[in-house]
Amino acid sequence: MNDLVWARTQLAARLPDHSLPQGLYTDQRAFDFDLDAIYGSSWLMAGLECELPEAGNYLALKVGKWPVLLVRGKDGEVRAFHNSCRHRGSILCQDGHGSAPKLVCPYHRWTYDLDGSLFAAGRMGEGFDKTEHGLSPIALRRVAGALFICLSDSQPEFDSFGDSFNRYAAPLNFSDLKLAATDLLVEQANWKLVMENARECYHCPTGHPELGQSFPVHMVRHFDTIRNPEAETFAAQMDAHGLPHAAAEGSWWQLARIALNPGSTSISMDGRPVCAKPLTTLNGGNVGSLRWAIDPHMFAHATADHVFTFSCMPVGPRETHVFSRWYVHKNATEGVDYDPFALKELWLKTNAQDKELAENNHCGVLSPGYRPGPYSLEAEALAVRFADWYCDRASAYVADHG
């Protein structure tokens, strides 16, 4: 069966407000389809600008199987390229952060300027035109200190998110951050199961006891903290300081500033700050958590003392890489203002718990007895929203390419 016909059949079988048909979680055809239809045509958050503070700084990463490169140019601009030499396709930079005055292919030494133009290519002969062999660009948007990329030549509408994100994030001055810690977690589960788990807190009261110390794990629907006695007071305080807080969303994004549990000003093991150098002192340092989430791959929380980001990248039908990053104020000193272990402790525990849950979920979905089950419309509203968004985007792709 043609892969697009197969995908159309699977999508048509999905029941409203139910989890997905088995094949969309487990089949190699679904994985191949998802790379093109979802990851290859969506806006993705690559990181924060503070990770590329100077000219020549770069960040190399993979979106599924596709290598991507972000570079800070001599003119201060950040650009994104396909991390593939225009000679014979070798990657230029290994995954991770680095710095170089020029980008040099390790294979045959083709050399590129930081703006992606080809600077030198030895032994190519008379008539070779360097201007025709610059690096292939990728669409990039810079908003409030964050970097967003889309690999498609036809990108989803961005400005409604960009304008909203700028309003919510600007008071925390992401340009004044630095990357303090990272983590990679390999999960033996389909990426959609990883993200469905990340989109709901139905499991949080029992699955994440440490997270529940500071984070309102009994939320309903779109992160409505109805059980938090301070939620109404928090909203009034945010209004008084001009900080937007109400839940906002578009087709592929969500934003909200959430009141934390009483007595907590940070998402940490005890609710206290994990960095002594604050990002903001507004409202005495109690600005709750700015949560933003982008489909298909990430969520983040920014409190008054640090920022945490979670990014999910598919590697195979049953393998997903979860990348976590922690950011603190650029003037914070490790060992003085923050302890890397304490900074990471809560989310490392939470991610490890989610890894077990997602892997158990995938094992169960493999069962011949699996049947898609109904979501809780109160506790799993954002998981429903994710599954609906996935099906809508996938169906649109099938219609356009079928």
In a domain, 1, yes or no: no
251 and 142 share one domain? no
Count of C-beta atoms within a 10 Å radius of residue 77: 13
What distance, in Å, lies between the first and last C-alpha atoms of the chain? 13
Question: By percentage, how much of the chain surpasses pLDDT 90?
Answer: 95
194 and 125 share one domain? no
243 and 310 share one domain? yes
239 and 297 share one domain? yes
Question: pLDDT grade, residue 311 (50/70/90)?
Answer: very high
Res 304: pLDDT = 98
The domain that contains 195 carries what CATH number?
3.90.380.10
Res 220: pLDDT = 73
Which of 150, 165, 195 is where one domain is finished? 150
In a domain, 386, yes or no: no
Rounded to an integer, the average pLDDT of 133-155 is 97
Which of 365, 380, 396 is where one domain is finished? 365
Reported as a single tens digit per residue, the pLDDT across 74-96 is 999 999 999 999 999 999 999 99
Res 115: pLDDT = 98
78 and 135 share one domain? yes
127 and 237 share one domain? no
In a domain, 371, yes or no: no
Rounded to an integer, the average pLDDT of 36-55 is 98
229: its two tokens: 């006695």
161: its two tokens: 């998110």
184 and 307 share one domain? yes
In a domain, 390, yes or no: no
146-160 in b/e burial notation, b at 16+ Cβ within 10 A?
bbbbbbeeeeeebee
88 and 236 share one domain? no
109 and 218 share one domain? no
Reported as a single tens digit per residue, the pLDDT across 192-250 is 999 999 999 999 999 999 999 999 988 776 666 666 777 889 999 999 999 999 999 99
**Comparing C-alpha atoms, which of 243, 255, 227 is closest to residue 235?**
243
Question: By percentage, how much of the chain surpasses pLDDT 70?
Answer: 98
In a domain, 157, yes or no: no
In a domain, 361, yes or no: yes
40: its two tokens: 């290859």
Instruction: Please give the tally of structural domains in the chain.
Output: 2
pTM of the model: 0.97
Rounded to an integer, the average pLDDT of 142-160 is 97
Res 354: pLDDT = 98
Give me the amino acid identity at 298: M
In a domain, 165, yes or no: no
143 and 233 share one domain? no
Full residue range of the structural domain in which residue 285 is found: 173-365
Q: Is the pLDDT of residue 98 over 80?
A: yes
The domain that contains 79 carries what CATH number?
2.102.10.10
In a domain, 376, yes or no: no
Mean pLDDT, the chain, integer: 96
Res 324: pLDDT = 98
With beta carbons less than 8 A apart as the criterion, state whether 317 and 28 touch.
Answer: yes
228: its two tokens: 């938090």
Question: pLDDT grade, residue 378 (50/70/90)?
Answer: confident
Res 276: pLDDT = 98
Res 231: pLDDT = 82
114 and 224 share one domain? no
137 and 185 share one domain? no
Which of 150, 183, 201 is where one domain is finished? 150
